[in-house]
Structure 1
Protein backbone atom coordinates (compact mmCIF):
# COMPACT_ATOMS: atom_id res chain seq x y z
CA UNK A 1 0.00 0.00 0.00
CA UNK A 2 2.75 2.44 0.85
CA UNK A 3 4.55 1.62 -2.41
CA UNK A 4 1.47 2.70 -4.37
CA UNK A 5 1.28 5.96 -2.46
CA UNK A 6 5.02 6.51 -2.96
CA UNK A 7 4.69 5.91 -6.69
CA UNK A 8 1.78 8.34 -6.91
CA UNK A 9 3.82 11.00 -5.10
CA UNK A 10 6.77 10.37 -7.39
CA UNK A 11 4.57 10.65 -10.51
CA UNK A 12 3.07 13.91 -9.21
CA UNK A 13 6.55 15.31 -8.49
CA UNK A 14 7.77 14.36 -11.98
CA UNK A 15 4.65 15.90 -13.47
CA UNK A 16 5.25 19.16 -11.57
CA UNK A 17 8.89 19.28 -12.72
CA UNK A 18 7.85 18.93 -16.35
CA UNK A 19 5.25 21.64 -15.93
CA UNK A 20 7.78 24.02 -14.37
CA UNK A 21 10.31 23.55 -17.13
CA UNK A 22 7.78 24.14 -19.88
CA UNK A 23 6.51 27.37 -18.30
CA UNK A 24 9.88 29.10 -17.98
CA UNK A 25 10.95 31.83 -20.36
CA UNK A 26 13.74 31.20 -22.85
CA UNK A 27 17.33 31.40 -21.64
CA UNK A 28 18.71 34.94 -21.82
CA UNK A 29 21.26 34.20 -24.54
CA UNK A 30 18.50 32.98 -26.89
CA UNK A 31 16.49 36.21 -26.81
CA UNK A 32 16.53 39.08 -29.27
CA UNK A 33 17.01 41.63 -26.49
CA UNK A 34 20.31 39.94 -25.58
CA UNK A 35 21.53 40.23 -29.15
CA UNK A 36 20.42 43.87 -29.28
CA UNK A 37 22.17 44.49 -25.94
CA UNK A 38 25.46 42.99 -27.12
CA UNK A 39 25.34 44.97 -30.39
CA UNK A 40 24.56 48.21 -28.53
CA UNK A 41 27.39 47.68 -26.02
CA UNK A 42 29.86 46.94 -28.80
CA UNK A 43 28.65 50.01 -30.69
CA UNK A 44 29.14 52.27 -27.68
CA UNK A 45 32.62 50.92 -26.95
CA UNK A 46 33.75 51.10 -30.57
CA UNK A 47 32.35 54.63 -30.91
CA UNK A 48 34.21 55.77 -27.81
CA UNK A 49 37.40 54.29 -29.24
CA UNK A 50 37.21 56.05 -32.61
CA UNK A 51 35.48 59.37 -31.83
CA UNK A 52 37.57 62.33 -30.76
CA UNK A 53 37.44 66.11 -30.98
CA UNK A 54 39.09 66.36 -34.39
CA UNK A 55 37.04 63.70 -36.10
CA UNK A 56 40.14 62.01 -37.48
CA UNK A 57 40.63 59.22 -34.96
CA UNK A 58 43.58 60.54 -32.97
CA UNK A 59 43.64 62.52 -29.75
CA UNK A 60 44.65 65.92 -31.11
CA UNK A 61 44.22 69.40 -29.67
CA UNK A 62 40.42 69.25 -29.91
CA UNK A 63 40.04 66.90 -26.95
CA UNK A 64 38.16 63.66 -26.71
CA UNK A 65 34.40 64.21 -27.04
CA UNK A 66 33.41 60.66 -26.14
CA UNK A 67 35.65 59.65 -23.27
CA UNK A 68 35.87 56.14 -21.85
CA UNK A 69 34.14 57.06 -18.58
CA UNK A 70 31.10 58.31 -20.51
CA UNK A 71 31.11 55.17 -22.68
CA UNK A 72 31.15 52.91 -19.62
CA UNK A 73 28.35 54.98 -18.09
CA UNK A 74 26.26 54.26 -21.20
CA UNK A 75 27.16 50.57 -20.95
CA UNK A 76 25.91 50.58 -17.35
CA UNK A 77 22.65 52.21 -18.48
CA UNK A 78 22.27 49.60 -21.22
CA UNK A 79 22.88 46.86 -18.66
CA UNK A 80 20.22 48.25 -16.33
CA UNK A 81 17.78 48.41 -19.24
CA UNK A 82 18.59 44.85 -20.27
CA UNK A 83 18.15 43.56 -16.72
CA UNK A 84 14.81 45.36 -16.45
CA UNK A 85 13.62 43.84 -19.72
CA UNK A 86 14.59 40.34 -18.53
CA UNK A 87 12.85 40.99 -15.23
CA UNK A 88 9.67 41.96 -17.07
CA UNK A 89 9.95 38.85 -19.24
CA UNK A 90 10.30 36.66 -16.15
CA UNK A 91 7.47 38.49 -14.39
CA UNK A 92 5.15 37.61 -17.27
CA UNK A 93 5.93 33.92 -17.08
CA UNK A 94 3.73 31.58 -15.09
CA UNK A 95 5.01 30.05 -11.90
CA UNK A 96 4.29 26.56 -10.59
CA UNK A 97 2.11 28.13 -7.88
CA UNK A 98 -0.18 29.53 -10.61
CA UNK A 99 -1.02 26.08 -11.96
Structure 2
Protein backbone atom coordinates (compact mmCIF):
# COMPACT_ATOMS: atom_id res chain seq x y z
CA UNK A 1 0.00 0.00 0.00
CA UNK A 2 1.58 3.25 -1.05
CA UNK A 3 0.83 6.71 0.22
CA UNK A 4 0.94 9.74 -1.98
CA UNK A 5 2.71 12.80 -0.77
CA UNK A 6 2.58 16.27 -2.23
CA UNK A 7 5.86 17.55 -3.58
CA UNK A 8 4.69 21.16 -3.48
CA UNK A 9 6.12 23.31 -0.69
CA UNK A 10 3.83 24.01 2.25
CA UNK A 11 3.63 27.68 1.29
CA UNK A 12 1.56 26.78 -1.78
CA UNK A 13 -1.09 25.05 0.33
CA UNK A 14 -2.56 28.22 1.82
CA UNK A 15 -3.10 31.67 0.35
CA UNK A 16 -0.26 34.01 1.14
CA UNK A 17 -0.68 37.58 2.30
CA UNK A 18 1.64 40.46 1.64
CA UNK A 19 1.67 43.68 3.62
CA UNK A 20 1.88 46.40 0.98
CA UNK A 21 1.13 50.09 0.98
CA UNK A 22 0.25 52.99 -1.20
CA UNK A 23 1.79 56.37 -0.56
CA UNK A 24 -1.38 57.98 0.80
CA UNK A 25 -5.08 58.08 0.28
CA UNK A 26 -6.27 59.19 -3.13
CA UNK A 27 -6.78 62.96 -3.20
CA UNK A 28 -10.49 62.71 -4.02
CA UNK A 29 -11.01 60.80 -0.75
CA UNK A 30 -9.68 63.61 1.45
CA UNK A 31 -11.52 66.44 3.16
CA UNK A 32 -8.79 68.88 2.14
CA UNK A 33 -9.90 68.55 -1.50
CA UNK A 34 -13.47 69.38 -0.52
CA UNK A 35 -12.28 72.38 1.50
CA UNK A 36 -10.12 73.54 -1.42
CA UNK A 37 -12.97 73.30 -3.94
CA UNK A 38 -15.37 75.13 -1.60
CA UNK A 39 -12.83 77.90 -0.96
CA UNK A 40 -12.13 78.36 -4.68
CA UNK A 41 -15.83 78.49 -5.47
CA UNK A 42 -16.33 80.98 -2.63
CA UNK A 43 -13.61 83.27 -3.99
CA UNK A 44 -14.97 83.12 -7.55
CA UNK A 45 -18.58 83.71 -6.46
CA UNK A 46 -17.48 86.61 -4.25
CA UNK A 47 -15.63 88.22 -7.14
CA UNK A 48 -18.69 87.86 -9.35
CA UNK A 49 -21.10 89.29 -6.78
CA UNK A 50 -19.25 92.29 -5.35
CA UNK A 51 -18.32 95.46 -7.17
CA UNK A 52 -15.30 95.01 -9.45
CA UNK A 53 -13.64 98.07 -7.90
CA UNK A 54 -13.58 96.34 -4.50
CA UNK A 55 -12.71 92.79 -5.54
CA UNK A 56 -12.20 92.07 -9.20
CA UNK A 57 -11.16 89.13 -11.33
CA UNK A 58 -7.45 89.82 -10.94
CA UNK A 59 -7.62 89.63 -7.15
CA UNK A 60 -9.88 86.58 -7.29
CA UNK A 61 -7.48 84.63 -9.48
CA UNK A 62 -4.58 85.70 -7.28
CA UNK A 63 -6.37 84.19 -4.26
CA UNK A 64 -7.22 81.05 -6.24
CA UNK A 65 -3.52 80.72 -7.07
CA UNK A 66 -2.60 81.07 -3.39
CA UNK A 67 -5.22 78.45 -2.47
CA UNK A 68 -3.82 76.11 -5.12
CA UNK A 69 -0.28 76.52 -3.82
CA UNK A 70 -1.51 75.85 -0.28
CA UNK A 71 -3.39 72.75 -1.40
CA UNK A 72 -0.38 71.40 -3.27
CA UNK A 73 1.89 71.98 -0.27
CA UNK A 74 -0.57 70.26 2.07
CA UNK A 75 -0.82 67.23 -0.26
CA UNK A 76 2.95 67.10 -0.51
CA UNK A 77 3.30 67.11 3.27
CA UNK A 78 0.63 64.44 3.57
CA UNK A 79 2.40 62.23 1.04
CA UNK A 80 5.83 62.68 2.57
CA UNK A 81 5.07 61.17 5.94
CA UNK A 82 2.25 58.70 5.72
CA UNK A 83 1.40 55.40 4.15
CA UNK A 84 -1.90 53.59 3.56
CA UNK A 85 -1.28 49.91 4.41
CA UNK A 86 -3.40 46.97 3.32
CA UNK A 87 -3.06 43.20 3.05
CA UNK A 88 -2.81 41.73 -0.41
CA UNK A 89 -3.92 38.12 -0.85
CA UNK A 90 -3.60 35.78 -3.79
CA UNK A 91 -7.37 35.87 -4.23
CA UNK A 92 -8.15 39.56 -4.92
CA UNK A 93 -11.79 38.97 -3.96
CA UNK A 94 -10.76 38.74 -0.30
CA UNK A 95 -8.71 41.95 -0.21
CA UNK A 96 -9.06 43.79 3.06
CA UNK A 97 -10.73 40.86 4.88
CA UNK A 98 -8.86 39.30 7.79
Q: Aligned residue for 1:87? A: 76
> Could you tell me how far apart the structure 2 residues matched to 1:92 and 1:20 are?
13
Q: Aligned residue for 1:30? A: 29
Query: 1:1-99, aligned counterparts within 5 Å?
Result: 15=18, 19-21=20-22, 24-52=23-51, 64-94=53-83
Number of residue pairs matched? Answer: 72
RMSD over aligned CA atoms reads 2.3
Q: TM-score, normalised by structure 2?
A: 0.63
Q: Which runs of 5+ in 2 are unaligned?
A: 1-8, 84-98
Return the structure number with greater relative CO, CA threshold 8 A, min gap 6: 2
Bigger Rg, which one: 2
Deviation at 1:20, TM superposition (A): 2.7
Q: Which runs of 5+ in 1 are unaligned?
A: 53-62, 95-99
